[in-house]
Amino acid sequence: MSSTDTSDEGIDVFAIVDYNDEEVSAVAAVLLAVDNTTDLLFHSSELNHLDQNYVDPAGGVTDQLGALTRMPSLFATMTNMTVDMFNELSAAVCPVIQSHARSTGDAHTGRGRPPKLSPEQRLLSFLLFLKHDNLCVFDGHHWNWSKSSVNDDSIFVSSCVNAAIANEIRWPTEHERRAAGTRLADFPGCIGHIDGTLVKIRRPHRDPLHSRWFNGRKKIYCVNNTVAVDHDGLFIFIDCGYPGSFHDITILRHSQLHANWRDHFVHEDNYFQYLLGDPGYTGEDMYIMRRVARREIEAGSEAVIDAFNSMHAGRRVRVEWGIGGLKRKWKRLMKQFDSTKPKFALIFRSACLLTNFIHRRRQNMKIVLDADDDNEGGGWDGDY
């Protein structure tokens, strides 16, 4: 076939461009060399592509952990933490994963089929599951794992994270609370901020009381959760998994924080501790200083109340930053939660624990905490 032949048998690609014979020969030589090189590469036994690097070639498990740790900047983008942070987290969580069975949660007996992934890879898989809003089918494709395995193992690893680093969320000690009460000159005694946050879920068709999960204000089926953060944005209390129709004050009155509030706050004649909250926390003024609602403003006091509300909102915005940072880091909480409701509390708690874990190990957080320790009259006692 000549270079100008355009019959039905095919089209010569060199006819598209006006090449002379020498140029055609040169291009053909280059294409032939590339083809030979590619053939040699893919038939070489020494080839070690990232996507061909298997932890277990017989099981066909792709080693995403090895690939990501060789690229630290990409690892931080994909997981929210540095490789050193991940290694520290692995040292705490992986022994728990290794020693417990996924199906029952009991101590591992060593019998049965071993997991496809190593404990470190299972932890990385959970972080990717939580960090990104991908479908489980997509995550499973990367690990050469089934959708059910990704789902079940993510819930199991979540419970292991909750057990291994449970102390990342804790109520401040009395010494820490007294130090925190001096942080805001406008609100002496304020040790933190409290608010609720919603996470959208599918309509629970099998639940005859599914209307409990519908929030009329947002017009969505959702889960309602209460969180409290300190002045540095760290979570110090969470209570999650309530139906979306529950009001924030209803959740608080069902919590241990309300049942034992005298153990959580110091009340003396000239000093008392409290949280800042929105107007919804009506009736719990003994430990929540809330913003004054419009319907409560008396005539003639508008200017004073507006000034207080403005100052209050400027301080309480920290809890909004804490919630926003949580959902921004773990996008699984920003999409419609696609697992069952009982599993939500595990995932939400893990996200809060991991957020605190990351914040406490960031350099700017260490600087803030170290500065507090150096101030006269106390500060944090070093547990952070």
Q: Is the model more confident about 49 or about 66?
A: 66
pTM: 0.78
Residue that wins the pLDDT comparison between 134 and 251: 251
pLDDT mean over 362-378 = 52
How many whole angstroms separate alpha carbon 229 and alpha carbon 251? 16
Element (H or E) spanning 375, and its range? none
Identify the band that residue 297 occupies on the pLDDT scale cut at 50, 70 and 90: confident
For residue 57, the model assigns a pLDDT of 43
Residue type, 99: S
Does the pLDDT value for residue 257 go beyond 60?
yes
Number of H helices, E strands in the chain: 14, 8
Taking alpha carbons only, the member of 137, 150, 143, 128 closest to residue 62 is 143
pLDDT at 45: 44
DSSP secondary structure of 326-368: HHHH-GGGTS-B-S-HHHHHHHHHHHHHHHHHHHHHSHHHHHH
Task: Decide which of 46 and 135 is more confident.
Answer: 135
Confidence at residue 94, expressed as pLDDT on a 0 to 100 scale: 94
Task: Report the 3 state secondary structure along 174-188.
Answer: HHHHHHHCCCCCCCC
pLDDT band, very low/low/confident/very high, at 31 (cuts 50, 70, 90): low
Helix (H) or strand (E) holding 194: strand 190-200
Residue extents of the structural domains in the chain:
1-47, 50-164, 172-342
Q: Which residue has the higher pLDDT, 374 or 62?
A: 62
- Mean pLDDT within 171-190: 93
Highest averaged pLDDT of the listed ranges 102-111, 117-126, 164-173: 164-173
Instruction: Please report, for residues 144, 170, 346, 347, the alpha-carbon distance to residue 165 in angstroms, rounded to integers and kept in the order given.
Output: 29, 11, 13, 14
Taking alpha carbons only, the member of 216, 208, 286, 219 closest to residue 247 is 216
CA dist., res. 70 & res. 51, Å (int) = 14
pLDDT level of residue 378 (50, 70, 90 thresholds)? very low
The per-residue pLDDT for range 209-238, each reduced to its tens digit, is 888 989 988 899 999 999 999 999 999 999
